[in-house]
C-alpha cells in the first residue's frame, strides 16, 4: 500500500472512479479499470482506476464526485490504495461468454457484484453482450429475475394489484397514460412502475414526467397508490431492482436490449412491487421485438412460463406494431396526445390499443365479463371517469391537475419533410422514426420529437407535409433532418407499382 494526497475533481463517471497519475500507476502495476480499495481515516470505498498526467500530479489521486461524498473528503487528506483481487463474479461472466449455463448462485453473485459496484462498466457490458449472443435458459432467466428483484426494496399491497407492460419496439406507445387511469377508475389497484427509454425516443416514465414528477421513495409511491388507486412512476427512483437501472445505463449507448435481460428487467420490477396480475403488450411488425405472430406467441409463452414460476398471473395481448401508435413521438408530444385522448379527442389507433389492453385487465379483475372488457374500458374513457382519475394521479404526484394539452411546450425549432409526389403512404418505418426523434434530442430534451401528418394508407399530394420534426436545438434539428432525408421514414408511392407486358414476362 502507498499513501496519496486526495485531490477533489469536479467530474462524474458511470462507476466510482479515481484518477491516478500514469507514472504512479506504472510503478504500482495498476492497469486501466483495475479495482482498488481507497481508505481515508478509516472510511473505505472500492473504485475503478483511470489515468491522467494532466489532472493529478505524482503522489496524488483524483476523487470523483460520488466518492467525495462516500469518503467524506474535501481535498488534502491522506489516502491509501490497495489493489483488489477481481471478484469471483467476473469468472462467471466469462463462463457465460463461452455459452455455458450458469447456476442460480453464479447469477446471484454477478448481480450482487453489480450492486456493490465491484464490476466495471466494461465487465457489465460483457455480461449483457453474452446474453445477447449466447442467450439464457428459462432457469437462468428465472434466477436473473429473482436476483435482480432481491437487489433492492420490495413492496406489498393489501389488495390484489394489476399492471400493464409493453416489450416495446413501437414509437409513440403512450397507451399506459390511458390504461392506468381507466383501471384505477374501475376500482382496481394499479401501481405502474416504468423504465426510462433505452432504445426508444420516450419511455412511459419520460412521457409521464412531462405531466408530473415520477421520482419517489417507495413509501411515497405506496401512499399515492393507496390514496388514488394508481400511479405512473420511474422504477429507478424507488430502489426496486436497482441493478436493472445500472444495466440499462450500459445498454443505452449500445441500443440493445437482449431478450433474457428484457424479460428479467420487466418481471423483476413487477415481482419487487408485488404485482399479482399483468397484461403484457407484444407488438408485432418490422422493427418490433416480435416480427410475426408466431414470434409473439413464442415470446408470450416464455413470459407466461417464467411469470407463473414467480407467482405473477400474466395474459399477453398481441398488437399491431407496424407503425407508430397515434401520430406523435417524443415525451411532450406524446403527453399532449395522451391528454387529448383522455379528453375524447385522441387518434383511433391510440384509443383502440389502450382500451383493448385495459379490457383484458378489467376481465382479469372481474370488472367486466369475458369478452366485454374492451367495451367497459371504452365507456370509462368516454364518460370522463378516466380523465378525472388521471387528474387525481397527476395531482397526487405533484403535477398540475388542470393541465391542458396546449400548456405543454414543444421544441421551438421545427422542420418539415414533404411529399415529393402524389400517391399513397405505403410504409412508415418505425426504426427510422425512432432514430430521427432521438437525433432531434428525444428523450433527453422533452420537447423534441416528431409529428406524423399521414400514416399508411393515406392519400397525399405533392408538397403535403408528411412529418414535422421538433427540436430544442438547431444543430440537433439539422442532424435529424439530414437523417430523415437519407432514411425516408414515410414512403409515398402511386397505386400502380409496375407494369408487366407479355414480352418481358417471358
Active-site residue set: 257
**Three-state SS at 151:** coil
Cα 344 from Cα 401, distance rounded (Å): 17
Task: Locate 373 and state its grid cell.
Answer: 372488457
How far is residue 169's CA from residue 201's CA, in Å, rounded to a whole number? 10
Compute CA distances 107 → 92, 141, 268, 412, whole Å: 8, 9, 14, 47
β-partners of residue 162 are 277
Q: Specify the length of the chain in residues.
A: 506
Q: Assess contact for 89 and 120: CB atoms under 8 A.
A: no
CA dist., res. 241 & res. 203, Å (int): 18
3-state secondary structure 30-60: CCCCCEEEEEECCEEEEEEEEECCCCCCCCE
Phi, psi for 374 (deg, rounded to 5): -60, -45
Which residue, among 266, 271, 273, 274, has the nearest Cα to 238 in the 3D structure?
Answer: 273
- Do the Cβ atoms of 463 and 440 come closer than 8 Å? no
H or E element, residue 504? helix 502-505
Q: What SS3 class is residue 136?
A: coil
From CA 7, how far away is CA 65, in angstroms rounded?
11
Q: Percent helix, strand, coil in the chain (nearest 5)? A: 45, 20, 35
Amino acid at each position: 500500500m502507498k499513501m496519496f494526497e486526495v485531490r477533489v475533481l469536479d467530474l462524474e463517471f458511470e462507476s466510482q472512479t479515481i484518477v491516478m497519475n500514469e507514472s504512479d500507476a506504472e510503478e504500482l502495476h495498476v492497469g486501466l479499470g483495475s479495482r482498488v480499495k481507497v481508505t481515508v481515516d478509516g472510511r473505505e470505498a472500492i473504485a475503478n482506476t483511470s489515468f491522467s498526467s494532466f489532472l493529478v500530479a505524482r503522489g496524488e489521486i483524483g476523487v470523483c464526485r460520488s466518492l467525495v461524498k462516500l469518503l467524506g473528503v474535501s481535498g488534502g487528506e491522506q489516502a491509501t490504495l490497495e489493489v483488489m483481487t477481481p471478484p469471483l463474479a467476473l469468472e462467471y461472466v466469462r463462463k457465460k461468454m463461452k455459452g455455458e449455463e450458469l447456476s442460480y448462485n453464479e447469477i446471484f453473485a454477478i448481480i450482487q457484484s453489480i450492486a456493490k459496484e465491484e464490476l466495471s462498466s466494461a465487465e457489465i457490458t460483457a455480461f449483457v453482450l453474452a446474453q445477447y449472443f449466447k442467450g439464457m435458459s428459462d432457469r437462468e432467466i428465472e434466477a436473473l429475475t429473482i436476483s435482480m428483484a432481491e437487489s433492492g426494496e420490495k413492496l406489498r399491497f393489501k389488495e390484489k394489484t394489476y399492471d400493464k407492460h409493453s416489450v416495446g419496439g413501437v414509437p409513440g406507445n403512450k397507451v399506459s397514460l390511458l390504461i392506468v387511469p381507466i383501471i384505477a377508475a374501475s376500482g382496481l389497484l394499479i401501481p405502474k412502475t416504468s423504465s426510462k427509454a433505452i432504445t426508444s425516443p420516450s419511455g412511459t416514465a419520460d412521457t409521464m414526467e412531462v405531466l408530473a414528477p415520477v421520482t419517489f421513495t417507495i413509501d411515497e409511491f405506496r401512499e399515492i397508490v393507496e390514496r388514488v388507486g394508481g400511479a405512473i412512476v420511474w422504477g429507478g427512483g424507488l430502489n426496486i431492482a436497482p441493478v436493472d437501472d445500472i444495466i440499462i445505463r450500459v445498454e443505452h449507448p449500445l441500443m440493445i436490449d437482449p431478450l433474457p435481460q428484457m424479460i428479467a428487467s420487466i418481471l423483476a420490477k413487477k415481482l419487487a412491487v408485488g404485482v399479482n396480475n399483468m397484461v403484457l403488450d407484444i407488438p408485432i411488425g418490422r422493427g418490433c421485438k416480435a416480427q410475426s405472430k408466431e414470434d409473439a406467441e413464442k415470446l408470450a409463452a416464455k413470459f407466461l412460463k417464467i411469470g407463473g414460476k414467480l407467482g405473477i398471473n400474466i395474459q399477453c395481448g398481441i398488437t399491431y406494431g407496424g407503425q407508430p401508435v397515434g401520430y406523435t413521438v417524443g415525451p411532450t408530444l406524446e403527453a399532449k396526445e395522451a391528454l387529448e385522448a383522455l379528453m375524447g379527442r385522441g387518434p383511433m389507433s391510440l384509443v383502440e390499443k389502450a382500451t383493448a389492453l385495459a379490457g383484458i385487465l378489467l376481465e382479469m379483475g372481474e370488472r367486466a365479463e369475458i369478452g366485454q372488457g374492451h367495451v367497459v374500458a371504452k365507456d370509462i374513457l368516454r364518460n370522463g371517469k378516466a380523465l378525472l382519475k388521471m387528474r387525481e394521479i397527476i395531482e397526487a404526484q405533484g403535477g398540475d391537475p388542470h393541465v391542458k394539452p396546449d400548456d405543454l411546450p414543444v421544441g421551438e425549432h421545427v422542420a418539415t419533410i414533404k411529399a415529393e409526389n402524389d400517391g399513397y403512404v405505403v410504409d412508415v418505418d418505425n426504426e427510422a422514426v425512432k432514430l430521427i426523434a432521438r437525433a432531434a434530442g428525444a428523450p433527453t430534451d422533452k420537447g423534441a420529437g416528431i409529428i406524423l401528418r399521414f400514416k399508411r394508407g393515406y392519400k397525399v399530394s405533392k408538397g403535403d407535409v408528411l412529418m414535422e420534426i421538433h427540436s430544442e436545438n438547431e444543430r440537433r434539428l439539422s442532424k435529424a433532418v439530414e437523417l430523415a432525408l437519407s432514411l425516408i421514414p414515410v414512403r409515398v408511392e402511386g397505386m400502380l407499382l409496375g407494369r408487366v407486358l407479355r414480352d418481358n414476362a417471358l
